[in-house]
């Protein structure tokens, strides 16, 4: 969840569940932001459509951004999402590919890593970089460390978060990024790499 100057943007990190998405949206209310300006889905996955529907039922959502579908199954899910959004009069935009293209949200840019999979899961790996006026934050979804292809993505980030969304965690991170601050949402991951374990929520004040 990202707030900039009274605007709220929600991104599908957390653990990918409806509970996590609702928590992010209620956090906006605590900051007196009643509308979701932009809801970003980093990957097209059917189980997240119902979570989005529930947010739209309860909040004013201005815009939903999803990656451009690349195959028939993604097309079908995207069509359902567009229908749901139309029902709530929410604009749907497509994130351009290649994924290296950054999305701007106020003075923050969000850059998705290339879509990658590991053999044992149908869930794509997730890599995101948040570019801020004073530096940048790298978010890695679960198990990204099993794919050497992520090496170099987000190099030089000031803060790295090892998240829980994506393929089930089966091993400790093999790829450990250098950064001043390293956090992990999974206790075992945190312990194995000496990161700070985020128990519950992590609030980082990125912009004063």
Sites of contact with Zn ion (CB under 5 A): 16, 45
In whole angstroms, the minimum distance from the beta carbon of 67 to Zn ion comes to: 12
Element housing 93 (H / E): strand 91-95
Whichever of 45 and 115 has its CB closer to Zn ion, that residue is 45
Read off the tokens for 14.
């957390």
In whole angstroms, the minimum distance from the beta carbon of 39 to Zn ion comes to: 14
Cα–Cα distance for residue pair 161/134, rounded to 1 Å: 17
Whichever of 33 and 169 has its CB closer to Zn ion, that residue is 169
Contact in structure between 92 and 82 (CB atoms under 8 Å): yes
Whichever of 16 and 154 has its CB closer to Zn ion, that residue is 16
Whichever of 32 and 122 has its CB closer to Zn ion, that residue is 122
* C-alpha R_g of the chain: 16
Residues β-bridged to residue 128: 112, 139
Whichever of 45 and 63 has its CB closer to Zn ion, that residue is 45
In whole angstroms, the minimum distance from the beta carbon of 40 to Zn ion comes to: 12
In whole angstroms, the minimum distance from the beta carbon of 141 to Zn ion comes to: 8
Residues β-bridged to residue 135: 132
* Residue facing Zn ion at closest CB distance: 45
Tell me the CA distances in angstroms from 129 to 32, 37, 50, one per residue in order: 26, 19, 26
DSSP state letters, 31-70 = TT--EEEEEE-SS--THHHHHHHHHHHHSEEEEEEEEPP-
In whole angstroms, the minimum distance from the beta carbon of 166 to Zn ion comes to: 7
């Amino acid at each position: 969840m990202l707030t900039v100057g009274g605007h709220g943007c929600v991104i599908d990190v957390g653990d990918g569940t409806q509970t996590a998405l609702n928590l992010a949206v209620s956090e906006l209310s605590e900051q007196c932001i009643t509308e979701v300006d932009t809801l970003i889905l980093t990957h097209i996955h059917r189980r997240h459509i119902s979570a989005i529907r529930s947010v739209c039922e309860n909040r004013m959502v201005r815009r939903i951004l999803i990656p451009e579908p690349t195959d028939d199954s993604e097309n079908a899910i995207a069509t359902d999402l567009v229908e749901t959004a139309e029902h709530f009069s929410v604009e749907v935009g497509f994130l351009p590919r290649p994924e290296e293209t950054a999305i701007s949200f106020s003075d923050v840019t969000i850059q998705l890593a290339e879509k990658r999979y590991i053999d044992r899961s149908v869930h794509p790996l997730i890599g995101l970089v948040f570019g801020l006026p004073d530096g940048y934050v790298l978010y890695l979804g679960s198990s990204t460390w099993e794919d050497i292809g992520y090496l170099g993505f987000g190099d030089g980030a000031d803060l790295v978060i090892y998240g829980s969304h994506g393929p089930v965690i089966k091993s400790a991170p093999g790829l450990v990024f250098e950064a001043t601050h390293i956090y992990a949402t999974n206790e075992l991951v945190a312990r194995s790499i000496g990161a700070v374990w985020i128990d519950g929520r992590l609030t980082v004040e990125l912009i004063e």
